[in-house]
Amino acid sequence: MQPAISISELSKVYDSGFTALHGIDLEIMNGEILALLGPNGAGKTTLISIICGLVNPTSGSVRVQGHDIIRDYRAARALIGLVPQELHVETFETVWDTVSYSRGLFGKKPNPALVERLLKDLSLWEKKDSKILQLSGGMKRRVMIAKALAHEPKILFLDEPTAGVDVELRKDMWNLVRRLREDGVTIILTTHYIEEAEEIADRVGVINKGRLIIVEEKAELMRKLGKKQLTVELNEALETLPETLGRYDLKLEGGGERIVYQYDTQGSRSGIGSLLADLNRAGISVKDIATEQSSLEDIFVNLVEESR
């Protein structure tokens, strides 16, 4: 099947001489939710802006459902909805008018039933006749989403959709994203909130300093790069670890009352069974044990540090 978006050797050098993207290759599949993670200034917005035709690439190519974003700009752009990071909505227009107008911009016939559904889905129905000026920041953000969806795009870009929004709006946004995916919409979002990627993404791409350092199924990423940790609470504090435990990667913490064991989630054997047997053999009495898995956040921080 043709990918929703196909990016090949894409680079961007701004007029200042700064290289914001270095040879990005990426295929985004139809119907997936891809989260792009990366520290400030990594190049996420630049990448999205190029795909959406707002910034010119320096070299490389991007195709949207097969349409080249430069040669076939209109066809490519018509398939895309973009919710930008910055809020810029017309202040004196009403919610209804601004959303309807956005649809018209793409040459689509008016569809009041669709606009009504969008406004209801985004909890904006009661505000349909309000001027944007009178809305709160969170509501303005909802308007931006309604505008981006008004022409029924097949691919939706959300640039930092939940930056600075309250918990309720964040949950609403996640639900909306899931619903759109059920309708077959491909969704690409950038986020600083790793929890967000963990919650809704199918795949996660990490960008650092203009390079895509990894792109992987979320579950696979967690499996490949995640570490697990076993904490063993002891009945009596130890001063040092016995030499017989030298073959394990152990740390003594909590004033000697806790042994922490790190193991690889990829290995077929965790070594927990033999560690506990060896502890027993060494006469160390165990009060409690707990395991913990590294989060996507730990993985992300490690990846970015490694690529410095």
Decide whether 22 or 128 has the Cβ nearer to ligand ATP: 22
The residue whose two tokens read 């039933």 is 113
The residue whose two tokens read 């910034």 is 55
Question: In whole angstroms, how close is the CB of 161 to ligand ATP at the nearest point?
Answer: 12
Question: In whole angstroms, how close is the CB of 109 to ligand ATP at the nearest point?
Answer: 35
Query: Which of 40, 240, 268, 285 forms a contact with ligand ATP (CB under 6 A)?
Result: 40
Establish if 38 lies at the interface with ligand ATP (CB under 6 A). yes
CB neighbours of residue 263 within 10 Å: 18
Query: Which of 2, 9, 25, 41 forms a contact with ligand ATP (CB under 6 A)?
Result: 41
Q: Identify the helix (H) or strand (E) that includes residue 63.
A: strand 59-64
Q: How far apart are CA 202 and CA 32, in angstroms?
A: 6
φ, ψ of residue 28 in degrees (nearest 5): -115, 125
Establish if 46 lies at the interface with ligand ATP (CB under 6 A). yes
Decide whether 43 or 161 has the Cβ nearer to ligand ATP: 43
Stretch that binds ligand ATP, among 15-23, 216-224, 245-253, 293-301 (CB under 6 A): 15-23
Stretch that binds ligand ATP, among 3-11, 37-45, 118-126, 269-277 (CB under 6 A): 37-45
The residue whose two tokens read 């649809």 is 103
The residue whose two tokens read 């505008």 is 147
**Alpha-carbon Rg of the chain, whole angstroms?**
25
How many residues belong to the site for ligand ATP (CB under 6 A)? 12
3-class DSSP state for residue 144? helix
Residue ranges binding ligand ATP (CB under 6 A): 14, 16, 18, 20, 38, 40-46
